[in-house]
């Protein structure tokens, strides 16, 4: 059985070290929230907001988001 390793996490809630370059694009479905996406992909909500230029954590269905990747060297 293969174990899935958790995404690297900097300080909780920090956007530092996360980059859109090399990230994945998703489209939010009805009922999805940034907190759900944060948990699902192991990315702090602050990093999702920063990467996608969001000023509010409230997002609508159909919103296209980039899931950033963590770069430890950043």
Q: What is the domain-level CATH number for residue 38?
A: 3.10.350.10
In angstroms, the CA 45 to CA 50 distance is 9
How many domains does one find in the chain?
Answer: 1
Domain annotation covers residue 64: yes
Domain annotation covers residue 5: no
- Quick one: pLDDT at residue 40? 96
Q: CA-CA distances (angstroms) from residue 59 to 56, 69, 72?
A: 8, 20, 28
pTM for the model stands at 0.75
Domain annotation covers residue 11: no
Q: What pLDDT digit, counting tens, does each position of 37-74 carry? A: 999 999 999 999 999 999 999 999 999 999 999 987 65
């Amino acid at each position: 059985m293969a174990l899935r390793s958790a995404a690297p996490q900097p300080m909780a809630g920090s956007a530092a070290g996360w980059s859109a370059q090399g990230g994945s694009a998703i489209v939010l479905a009805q009922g999805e929230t940034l907190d759900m996406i944060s948990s699902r992909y192991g990315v702090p909500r602050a990093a999702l907001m920063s990467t996608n230029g969001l000023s509010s954590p409230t997002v609508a269905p159909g919103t296209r988001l980039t899931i950033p990747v963590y770069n430890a060297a950043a």
